[in-house]
Amino acid sequence: MKLITAVIKPHKLDDVKSALESFGVQGMTVSEASGYGRQRGHTEVYRGAEYTVDMVPKVRLEVLVDDLDATGVVEAVVKAAATGRIGDGKVWVVPVDDVVRVRTGEHGADAL
């Protein structure tokens, strides 16, 4: 099993969600995040005083998938989240030892 984590632009969340649903992914966890990469932040001015705002709002999306689906899911996320401009985000994949469904106690792929 793999955990796929994507940090994307907030306004692309709906596109990514639809793409994953078409792919057959049945669940996901989404959280609000803030941070920066190569794009850095932006500047705001209040009463003449300049503030550099480093942290940019992002959405962090996590999906647990079977090994065989991982590549396809990553491709789907990247395709849906891309705008071609700086700040589109990142997607990464890590192996997962075990998953348990809390309600039934099922383990492994059955719990996905």
Binding site for other proteins (CB under 8 A): 31-32, 34, 44-57
Nearer to other proteins, 55 or 100 (CB): 55
Cβ closest to other proteins, residue 45 vs residue 94: 45
Closest contact distance (angstroms) between CB of 31 and other proteins is 8
Closer to other proteins at the Cβ: 47 or 103? 47
CA distance 56 to 4: 22
In the structure encoding, which two tokens stand for residue 111, read together?
């719990």
CB of 55 to other proteins, least distance (A): 4
2/58 with CB nearer other proteins: 58
- Please give the torsion angle defined by the CA atoms of residues 19, 20, 26 and 32, in that order, rounded to the nearest 10 degrees: -110
Q: Which of 7, 5, 4 is nearest to 57 (CA)?
A: 7
What single-letter amino acid sits at 109?
A: A
Q: Is residue 59 a contact partner of residue 8, using CB atoms and an 8 Å limit?
A: yes
Q: In angstroms, what is the minimal distance from the CB of 92 to other proteins?
A: 22
For the bound state, the minimum distance from the C-beta of residue 89 to other proteins, rounded and expressed in Å, comes to: 16
